[in-house]
Structure 1
Amino acid sequence: MDATVGRRERKKAATRQALADAALRLFTEHGYDRVTVRDVAEAADVSTTTLLKHFPSKEALVFDQETDREADLVAAVRDRAPDRSVPGALRAYVEDAQLRAPDADPRFRAFADLVRDTPALSEYARRMWTRHQEALAHAVADATGAEPDDPRCAALARFTLEASALARDSADPARALDAAFDLLEHGWQAG
């Protein structure tokens, strides 16, 4: 019985990955707006119904790892070094996700360009990213001993997520991240 369940789950995961890979390939080759859900299903050799069981929308085909991102954000706070501040740990995570990841994998650059150049995907990406605010705020509260509903934790979570968007949209992402996280770490210094 366990082997059957394991096999089914592996098959589902393989189908899901084939769909995500086909979608990214087609979207980068032909443009997001020129590719239909049916095109992606055909490229992955599955029915449109099967595709929609795995991905509820066309945009969702592009963002397949969102659960991992939330876990990584929470881990950045929870597993930080004892001498590292919460904003410092979040800064390191966002720098790695926004500045280093694109350079490490050429497929990520194609993905980032696709999202940036497609308004529907840019908006979807922003909604998907900012939905991690509550989990991140709870992680900050746990890590600092604050009350779960402390508005400072919610603010730090929101501003962290917005700093990432600020960097992504900036001509100089590193400078934008430095400015945002310096402000989060040290507060406003008029000058």
Structure 2
Amino acid sequence: MSEEPGLRERKKRRTHAAISDAAISLFLQHGFDQVSVAQVAEAAEVSRRTLFAYFPAKEDLVVHRMADHQSEGARVVLARPPGTSPLAALRANFLTGLDRRDPITGLSDHPHIHALFAMILSTPALVARMERFKSAAEHTLAEALRQTSATPELTARLAAAQLVAVQWTLALDNIQRLAGGQSADDRHPGAVSDAEHAYTLLRTGLGDLT
């Protein structure tokens, strides 16, 4: 008798989580480059073949933790209320992320999050994988802009590139402030002020620089 679809999906999620948890634990303890895929598979009690079925590349074992955010900008634009501009919707979403200390904004005090970002930023292979992550985020956001606001293709691509770059720059700044000893609560007012400034520059087309 075959397994029910719901049971199979639950097993897949558990296996996915077990592999991910084992990988992150080993990477944070020993370093990304010092841990092999075989060691991760052994710790997760799966075969290498099974591991690669869930995570096609070693870097995906880390970056997948941000996978939901890869298309977040596009989802925000597509789901924005009538009469709300894409830029206003993205600004509100980032500010809300700061308020709830969403790790993707860099404003999280959790030691595990600090360690994870530190590992990513100090590992060339992971930095390169994050560039692919950002490129994919730009692509999905550009498509959403084209679909919902009749934005010409080049304009949509240019706008998406700027929006993703601004959000990543703001997040990196927050990560560095917290790594320097500032708490998320102490940093929050400055993070909000910086975000407001960044989105104002986007809204005005960088006119102050001309």
Paired position in structure 1 for 2:168:
165
15-24 or 116-125, larger mean C-alpha shift: 116-125
CA pair 108-84 structure 1, distance change in 2 beyond 3 A = farther
CA offset digits 1:145-171 (Å, max 9, x no partner) = x15x53222211111111123224435
CA pair 72-168 structure 1, distance change in 2 beyond 3 A = closer
Could you tell me how far 1:95 is from its partner in structure 2? Answer: 4.7
Paired position in structure 2 for 1:4:
4
Within 2, Cα distance between the matches of 1:58 and 1:127?
14
**Aligned sequence identity (%):** 33
- Say which SS state the counterpart of residue 63 (structure 2) adopts: coil
Letter in 1 for 2:74: V
Normalised by the size of structure 1, how large is the TM-score? 0.82
Q: Do 2:26 and 2:40's aligned partners in 1 also have CA atoms closer than 8 Å? A: yes
Q: Do 1:126 and 1:165's aligned partners in 2 also have CA atoms closer than 8 Å? A: no
Query: For structure 1, which runs of at least 5 residues remain unmatched after alignment?
Result: none
Q: What is the RMSD computed on CA atoms of the aligned residues?
A: 2.7
Within 1, Cα distance between the matches of 2:2 and 2:128?
41
65-74 or 41-50, larger mean C-alpha shift: 65-74
Query: For structure 2, which runs of at least 5 residues remain unmatched after alignment?
Result: 178-189
Paired position in structure 2 for 1:186:
204
Normalised by the size of structure 2, how large is the TM-score? 0.76
CA offset digits 1:66-101 (Å, max 9, x no partner) = 552244222211222445431122233345557831
CA pair 92-112 structure 1, distance change in 2 beyond 3 A = farther
Letter in 1 for 2:126: L
CA pair 157-189 structure 1, distance change in 2 beyond 3 A = same
Match status 1:141 vs 2:177: no
- Say which SS state the counterpart of residue 64 (structure 1) adopts: helix
Letter in 2 for 1:166: T
Letter in 1 for 2:158: A
Match status 1:114 vs 2:132: no
Q: How does 1:27-106 map to 2 (within 5 A)?
A: 27-65=27-65, 67-82=67-82, 84-95=84-95, 100-102=101-103, 103=108, 105-106=110-111
Query: How many positions carry a matched residue from both structures?
Result: 189
Within 2, Cα distance between the matches of 1:83 and 1:114?
41
Q: Do 2:71 and 2:137's aligned partners in 1 also have CA atoms closer than 8 Å? A: no
CA pair 120-54 structure 1, distance change in 2 beyond 3 A = same
Within 2, Cα distance between the matches of 1:82 and 1:140?
14
Q: Do 1:166 and 1:176's aligned partners in 2 also have CA atoms closer than 8 Å? A: no
Which structure ranks higher in relative contact order (CA pairs < 8 Å, sequence separation ≥ 6)?
2
CA pair 97-128 structure 1, distance change in 2 beyond 3 A = farther
Could you tell me how far 1:121 is from its partner in structure 2? Answer: 0.8
Q: Do 1:166 and 1:177's aligned partners in 2 also have CA atoms closer than 8 Å? A: no
Letter in 1 for 2:17: Q
